[in-house]
Amino acid sequence: MNTPLLINNTGKMQAWSESARSRGLRLGIVPTMGKLHEGHLSLVRVAASSCDRVLVSIFVNPTQFGPGEDYEKYPRCLEADLNALAGEGVSVCFAPSVAEMYPHGQADNLTVEWGKKALCGAGRPGHFDGVTSVVSRLYNAMQPHVAVYGQKDAQQALIIRRMTESMLFPVKTVLGAIVRERDGLAMSSRNIYLDPAERERALTLSRALTRVGESLRAGERDPGRLQSIGNGALSGIDGVEPEYFVVVDPATLAPHENKVDGLLLIACAAKLGKTRLIDNHVYRIQGDDVRESMLF
């Protein structure tokens, strides 16, 4: 069990990565906000499968939280996170302060227009600007060859891939599958906010997604009907406040025109009390064939 080297400073981080790169090592990063769970650790393993060194960042990024969101109370537990990483062969944990990441304050940012107003962006204006602003800084600080993200945050992964292509970052965007609890709830650092009743009701999200998957498998291809099946399954439950349920083409984040075909993203968000959760399923549809799939 080797605890990763803890680096808090961007200059030191750049020097470490430059030295590793000069020795021909391929670097994979897993950006996180900490309170690590099995979902994060699965991404570490994905990174390790194609890289010589894995680096994990832990940074609760203020610019991706809106007013009234949970920035202040977001769980911070660096010690426990370092212990979790110790068993995974992670070389570096980069845990900078806000001042390190935003040396001139939070006004200078990198924005990607594509997709930022759809799905989660509708209810969280500015959220994806915050994500692309911090990820671009992490790339400059950590200088990875590969960056691994979870399909759990499907829209985020698509926007980051878009940013990487648009800005010509020499970084490969790689996805890891969603890791779930035994009963189907997608793992999330925010699940610790749920009281027992909310934890039970949180299954509404994965069940609604499964319900739409069953309809797809039964032959339903009408995007509007699929969406209303999902909306129906997510609505009308005491204590669950749906934010959206969409059935979209991941290439546009808009519904397919007539019938769903090819890659399909079924995504939803809902609030359980004060806790906002998201989840999704991705399918590849070819004629009668319906398979769960990775987005890319």
Enumerate the active-site residues: 40
The region of 21-29, 38-46, 235-243, 251-259 touching ligand AMP under the rule CB under 6 A is 38-46
Q: Which of 7, 29, 33, 202 binds ligand AMP (CB under 6 A)?
A: 33
Q: Decide if 132 contacts 119 (C-beta within 8 A).
A: no
Q: At what angle do helices 38-50 and 78-86 cross, to 10 degrees?
A: 50
The region of 20-28, 146-154, 229-237, 282-290 touching ligand AMP under the rule CB under 6 A is 146-154
x/- track of binding to ligand AMP for residues 259-288 (CB under 6 A): ------------------------------
Q: Which is nearer to ligand AMP, 32 or 132 (CB)?
A: 32
Q: Which is nearer to ligand AMP, 42 or 204 (CB)?
A: 42
* Encoded tokens for 216: 């797809």
Interaction residues for ligand AMP, span 148-207 (CB under 6 A): 149-150, 152-153, 176, 178-179, 186-189
Distance between CA atoms of 235 and 137, rounded to whole angstroms? 39
Residue 185 CA neighbour count, 13 Å, CB half: 18
Q: Which is nearer to ligand AMP, 61 or 215 (CB)?
A: 61
Q: Which is nearer to ligand AMP, 226 or 266 (CB)?
A: 266
Q: Which of 55, 38, 39, 37 is nearest to 47 (CA)?
A: 55
- 32 part of the interface to ligand AMP, by CB under 6 A: yes
Q: Which is nearer to ligand AMP, 42 or 136 (CB)?
A: 42
Q: For the CB of residue 61, give the shortest distance to ligand AMP in the complex, in Å.
A: 8
x/- track of binding to ligand AMP for residues 99-138 (CB under 6 A): ----------------------------------------
Q: Decide if 68 contacts 126 (C-beta within 8 A).
A: no
Listed in sequence order, the DSSP H helices in the chain are 10-22, 38-50, 78-86, 98-101, 120-123, 127-142, 154-166, 196-201, 203-217, 223-234
- 209 part of the interface to ligand AMP, by CB under 6 A: no
Q: For the CB of residue 180, give the shortest distance to ligand AMP in the complex, in Å.
A: 7
x/- track of binding to ligand AMP for residues 64-93 (CB under 6 A): ------------------------------
Q: Decide if 85 contacts 59 (C-beta within 8 A).
A: no
Distance between CA atoms of 138 and 143, rounded to whole angstroms? 8
Report the amino acid identity of residue 177: A
Q: Which is nearer to ligand AMP, 42 or 206 (CB)?
A: 42
Q: Decide if 237 contacts 273 (C-beta within 8 A).
A: no
Q: Which of 43, 85, 260, 264 binds ligand AMP (CB under 6 A)?
A: 43
- 54 part of the interface to ligand AMP, by CB under 6 A: no
Residue 176 β-bridge partners: 150
In the sheet where 172-176 sits, what is the strand order?
5-7, 92-94, 53-58, 27-32, 146-150, 172-176
Report the amino acid identity of residue 21: R
Q: Which of 7, 20, 28, 40 binds ligand AMP (CB under 6 A)?
A: 40
Report the amino acid identity of residue 189: S
**Footprint of ligand AMP on this chain (CB under 6 A)?**
32-33, 39-40, 42-43, 149-150, 152-153, 176, 178-179, 186-189
